[in-house]
């Protein structure tokens, strides 16, 4: 009995040792030389493996950075400039700063603006819906409202607003990885500059129909009238295929176009609210009801 | 009686309008002729706003190899050329024509005489078919001249005329086979000659006895007219959906199976619909362009006297057709263009008829609203029903998870989108929706890989 156990242990020990030697030799002989910097770069990456940079994951991105020898064509949208600086430090390279971006939903076709004209009872997926027909509203270009973008977002930055039926981007969580842009079958979502203090001006519509047709389908549609392009002093606005587009690299955030747009299709977000000017000019414009009350107060002063 | 071997379902055939003779629709005030009347590249308009066009005049040229001519279906003035919403609500270029009384373009034989003598010049026939814009009218609207001109090295052994009309409700093919049987057979003889005089089979499902009789009688009559009409036979097929599917019909008639991603010509078959045959007759013997077709207006909610089979011209607004048929009943919740199995829901009744329009089918909420989806119970009914031998339950799972490699391995690209799986699923899983999408993606992947080899 004891001899069996001893023999077993002895044989297995010898076998184990022998195989370990073989494995050691094989590992030596066939060792894959890999640049150690790849590991170092990978360590400073966010590790989301989202694919926003265009590579399969953070390691593939790191490998590309090391192999390319420069960082001109590589950028991690999730980590942004901070991460890229760290990568540059590790590799001893220079990196150009990029303005932070965010996803922007270019559709304002809420239930109120864009009436539903038919019922869709198929699978709740924008791609399936888009493959079947133009959607349950009169606008064949706008948001389909099934939330493919929300499902695609790995950072929890998108959510469906149940009131409007449109997706909402949480700009603090959005990393501009572009997954939602790819997921949207209607190309409604675009990556735009976050802007100074997050202030942005954009056309919240992608409807290419002629003005009257677009307006019939949606109250807030861009009708391609071109008023915004005329009023823009920075040549940032182009009107093509009956829809205006604001080039965020040229836009100086003057908001002239916002005031000019007859349908309210141009949105300005995160601008500080301008407080109404006090007494002298405000008084005559005030409604008649509070006016008598206001006057005696003044007299008392 | 023959039929295809794998899968298939037996929906109630509901051919309510089978005995309604074809009526000719009057002309509306305006027609909108779509440039996407066929599979492949949209046609390019060759008329300008303000031009006066005659009935049968070419208004658009093919936009590519797989494309077709489009002709004006009316006489009148071109009012506009621009985007207009199609059946699915998407924009497509349409030519808008204000209708005036008919004045036919030159060279079109408008007489009723039956021309039984078939031209001997093969190229002449193919040119006529091409120039008159004939496309397959079985549903896919594939340009007919392309199909009738097999690539070198491949020969047609059998021309199959598809008179199966396996979709429930549709009766337009049934009616033309009863009313225009001789013209269909002459069309078949023309195509047979183009293909080198191969065997020709007209496949008709057993639920159309009048059509089978009319076609057999006409065949016996025309058989006296010469050798061109020998070697054509009528074959009665068992009733089973999707018998009219190209690959299923080849299996039923010839007992051969088209391999994955293959074409019917690979097994020596050419399949054309009976309506296409009629169009070929008109194009070759009468030089008449394809501007008319037959469509069914039907539905369980319509009384017997309001079921119709109409001869329409292309570009008629569907709302006009519905109006002519007595308006849309209140209880209708969905209108389908095409059959209930493969047809498309009409999202826009202002859309216009195209060459391939086959029906306006009125469905009530009870018939169409989708039931709540529940979990797959692995009953494998879908796998039994699939006429392509696929496993829809598996493909659905893979499609939802975006596993394209596995989808390709499991042959998602062979799906013919017949809807048998969806029809048979007891858990109401939208199998076809997910599979169709994955099929498109996988075919794109396969195509993008091909040139690298």
Which residues of chain B are within 8 Å of residue A133 when distances are taken between CB atoms?
A: 87-90, 344-345, 347
Tokens linked to B381: 């009914």
Q: Which of residues 350-409 of B touch A (CB under 8 A)?
A: 369-370
Q: Between B88, B430, B437, which is nearest A133 by CB?
A: B88
- Cβ within 8 Å of residue B243, ≥6 positions away: B3, B4, B8, B164, B166, B203, B205, B237, B249, B252
Residue B443 touches chain A, beta carbons under 8 Å: no
3 state SS for A90-140? HHCCCCCCCCCEEEEECCCCCCCCCCECCCCCCCCCHHHHHHHCCCCECCC
The whole-number average pLDDT for the span A10-32 is 94
Q: Is the pLDDT of residue A279 over 80?
A: no
Contacts of B385 (CB under 8 A, 6+ apart): B7, B8, B9, B420, B421, B423, B424
Could you give the C-alpha distances from A88 to A79, A111, A265, in angstroms and in order?
13, 48, 41
Cβ distance A133 to B433 less than 8 Å, yes or no, reads: no
Closest CA to B72 of B131, B109, B31, B129: B31
**pLDDT higher than threshold 70 for residue A296:** no
Which site among B346, B437, B443, B444 would you substitute to test the A interface, given the most A Cβ atoms closer than 10 Å to its Cβ? Answer: B437
pLDDT digits (tens, 9 = 90+) for B118-169: 998 999 999 999 999 999 998 889 999 988 988 888 899 999 999 999 999 9
List, as ranges, residues 193-212 from A with C-beta within 8 Å of B: 208-210
Q: Residue B368: is its pLDDT beyond 70?
A: yes
Bridge partners, residue A240, by sequence: A243
Looking at the DSSP bridge assignments, the partners of residue B332 are: B364
- The closest CB to that of A135, out of B87, B89, B440, belongs to B89
- As a whole number of angstroms, the distance between CA B275 and CA B174 comes to 10
Give the residue among A268, A274, A218 at the shortest CA–CA distance from A243: A218
What does the pLDDT average to over A254-281?
Answer: 82
- The pLDDT of residue A75 is 87
Of the ranges A58-62, B24-28, B228-232, B449-453, which one carries the lowest mean pLDDT score? B449-453
pLDDT value of residue A277: 64
pLDDT reported for residue A295:
40
CA-derived radius of gyration, chain B: 22
Interface contacts (A, B; CB < 8 Å): 47
Q: Quote the tokens at residue B364.
A: 């009530």
Percent of chain B with pLDDT over 90: 83
**Inter-chain residue contact B440 with A128, CB threshold 8 Å:** no
User: What is the tally of helices (H) and strands (E) in chain B?
Assistant: 14, 17
Tell me: pLDDT of A289 over 80.
no
Q: Quick: pLDDT tens for A182-193.
A: 999 999 999 999
* pLDDT at residue A288 tops 70: no
Distance from CA of A216 to the nearest CA of B (A): 13
Tokens of B346: 């009409």
Residue B434 at interface with chain A, using a CB cutoff of 8 Å: yes
What is the pLDDT averaged over residues A243-260?
A: 91
How much is the pLDDT for B25? 95
**Do the Cβ atoms of A128 and B430 come within 8 Å?**
yes
pLDDT tens for each residue of A69-102: 888 888 888 888 888 888 888 888 888 888 888 9
Residue B344 touches partner A, C-beta closer than 8 Å? yes
**Whose CA is closest to B107, among B281, B288, B279?**
B288
Please indicate whether, in this complex, the C-beta atoms of A134 and B89 are within 8 angstroms of each other: yes
User: Is the pLDDT at A206 greater than 90, yes or no?
Assistant: yes
Number of other residues whose CB lies within 10 A of the CB of residue B403? 15
- Contact between chains at B434 and A121 (C-beta distance less than 8 A): no
Q: Enumerate residues 45 to 84 of chain B having a beta carbon within 8 A of any beta carbon in chain A.
A: 82-83
Q: Round to whole Å and give the CA distance between B221 and B123.
A: 28
- Compare all CA atoms of chain B with the CA of A132 and give the residue at the minimum distance: B88
Q: Which residues of B touch A140 (CB under 8 A)?
A: 85, 89-91
Percentage of chain B modeled with pLDDT above 70: 99
Return mean pLDDT, chain B.
93
pLDDT of residue A276: 66
Looking at the complex, report in whole angstroms how far the Cα of residue A151 sits from the nearest Cα belonging to chain B: 12
Helix, strand, or coil (residue B353): coil
- Contacts with B372 from chain A: Cβ below 8 Å: none
Q: How high does pLDDT run on average in chain A?
A: 86
**Mean of pLDDT values over A155-166:** 92
> B370 falls in which pLDDT band (50, 70, 90)?
confident
Q: What is the pLDDT of residue A294?
A: 40
- pLDDT tens for B188-225 read 999 999 998 899 999 999 999 999 999 999 999 998 88
Tens digits of residue pLDDT in B281-322: 999 999 999 999 999 999 999 999 999 999 999 999 999 999
Q: Which chain A residues are within 8 Å of B436, Cβ to Cβ?
A: 131
Confidence class for position A284, pLDDT limits 50, 70, 90: very low
Q: Which two tokens stand for residue A286?
A: 């005030």
Angstrom distance (rounded) from CA B263 to CA B242? 18
Q: How far apart are CA B249 and CA B160, in angstroms?
A: 8
Q: Give the model's pLDDT for residue A292.
A: 42
Helix axis angle, A58-68 to A36-44, nearest 10°: 130
In chain A, residues with a C-beta closer than 8 Å to the C-beta of B88 are 132-134
Question: A297 falls in which pLDDT band (50, 70, 90)?
Answer: very low
pTM for the whole thing?
Answer: 0.84
User: Would the pLDDT of B373 be above 60?
Assistant: yes
This complex has an ipTM of 0.86
Neighbours of A3 (CB within 10 A): 7
Closest CA to B1 of B254, B245, B252: B252
């Amino acid at each position: 009995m004891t001899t069996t156990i001893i023999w077993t242990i002895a044989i297995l020990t010898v076998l184990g040792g022998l195989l370990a030697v073989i494995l050691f030799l094989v590992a030596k002989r066939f060792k894959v030389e890999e640049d150690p910097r790849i590991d170092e770069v990978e360590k400073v990456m966010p590790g989301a493996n989202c694919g926003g940079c265009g590579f399969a994951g953070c390691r593939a991105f790191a490998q590309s950075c090391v192999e390319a020898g420069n960082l001109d064509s590589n950028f991690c949208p999730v980590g942004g400039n901070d991460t890229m600086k760290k990568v540059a430090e590790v590799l001893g390279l220079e990196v150009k700063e990029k303005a932070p971006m965010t996803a922007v939903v270019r559709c304002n076709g809420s239930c109120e603006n864009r009436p539903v004209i038919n019922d869709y009872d198929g699978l709740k997926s924008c791609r399936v819906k888009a493959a079947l027909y133009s959607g349950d509203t009169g606008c064949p270009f706008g948001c389909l409202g099934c939330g493919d973008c929300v499902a695609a977002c790995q950072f929890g930055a998108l959510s469906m607003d149940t009131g409007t039926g449109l997706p909402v981007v949480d700009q603090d969580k959005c990393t501009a990885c572009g997954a939602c842009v790819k997921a949207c079958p209607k190309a409604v979502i675009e990556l735009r500059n976050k802007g100074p203090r997050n202030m942005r001006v954009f056309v919240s519509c992608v409807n290419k129909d002629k003005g009257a047709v677009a307006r019939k389908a949606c109250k807030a549609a861009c009708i391609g009238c071109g008023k915004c392009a005329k009023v823009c002093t920075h040549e940032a606005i182009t009107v093509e295929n009956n829809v205006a587009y604001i080039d965020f690299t040229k836009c100086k955030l003057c908001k002239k176009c916002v005031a000019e747009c007859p349908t309210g299709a141009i949105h300005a977000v995160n601008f500080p609210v301008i407080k109404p000017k006090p007494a002298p000019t405000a008084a005559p414009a005030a409604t008649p009801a509070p006016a008598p009350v206001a006057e005696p107060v003044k007299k008392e002063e | 009686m023959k039929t295809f071997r794998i899968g298939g379902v037996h929906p109630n055939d509901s051919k309510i309008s089978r005995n309604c003779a074809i009526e000719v629709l009057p002309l509306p005030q305006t027609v909108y002729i779509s440039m996407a009347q066929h599979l492949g590249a949209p046609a390019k308009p060759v008329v300008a706003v303000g031009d006066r066009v005659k009935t049968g005049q070419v208004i658009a040229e093919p936009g590519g190899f797989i494309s077709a001519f489009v002709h004006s279906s009316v006489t009148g003035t071109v009012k506009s050329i621009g985007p207009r919403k199609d059946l699915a609500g998407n924009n497509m270029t349409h030519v808008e024509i204000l209708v005036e009384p008919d004045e036919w373009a030159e060279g079109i034989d408008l007489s009723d005489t039956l021309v039984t003598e078939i031209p001997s010049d093969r190229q002449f026939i193919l040119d006529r078919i091409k120039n008159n814009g004939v496309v397959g009218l079985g549903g896919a609207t594939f340009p007919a001249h392309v199909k009738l001109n097999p690539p070198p090295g491949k020969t047609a052994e059998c021309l199959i005329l598809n008179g199966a009309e396996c979709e429930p409700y549709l009766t337009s093919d049934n009616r033309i086979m009863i009313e225009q049987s001789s013209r269909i057979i002459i069309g078949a003889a023309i195509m047979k000659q183009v293909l080198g005089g191969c065997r020709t089979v007209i496949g008709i499902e057993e639920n159309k006895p009048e059509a089978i009789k009319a076609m057999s009688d006409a065949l016996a009559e025309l058989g006296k007219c010469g050798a061109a009409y020998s070697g054509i036979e009528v074959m009665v097929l068992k009733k089973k959906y999707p018998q009219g599917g190209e690959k299923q019909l080849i299996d039923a008639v010839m007992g051969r199976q088209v391999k994955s991603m293959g074409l019917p010509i690979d097994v020596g078959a050419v399949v054309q619909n009976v309506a296409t045959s009629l169009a070929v007759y008109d194009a070759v013997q009468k030089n008449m362009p394809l501007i008319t077709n037959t469509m069914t207006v039907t539905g369980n909610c319509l009384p017997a006297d309001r079921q119709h089979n109409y001869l329409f011209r292309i570009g008629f607004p569907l709302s006009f057709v519905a109006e002519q048929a007595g308006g849309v009943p209140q209880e209708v919740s969905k209108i389908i263009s095409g059959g209930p199995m493969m047809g498309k829901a009409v999202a826009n009744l202002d859309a216009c008829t195209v060459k391939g329009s086959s029906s306006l089918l009125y469905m009530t909420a009870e018939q169409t609203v989708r039931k709540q989806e529940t979990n797959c119970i692995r009953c494998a009914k879908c796998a039994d029903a699939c006429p392509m031998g696929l496993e829809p339950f598996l493909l659905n799972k893979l499609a939802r998870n975006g596993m394209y490699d596995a989808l390709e391995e499991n042959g998602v690209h062979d799906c013919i989108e017949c809807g048998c799986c969806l029809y048979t699923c007891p858990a109401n899983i939208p199998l076809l929706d997910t599979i169709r999408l994955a099929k498109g993606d996988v075919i794109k992947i396969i195509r993008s890989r091909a040139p690298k080899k």
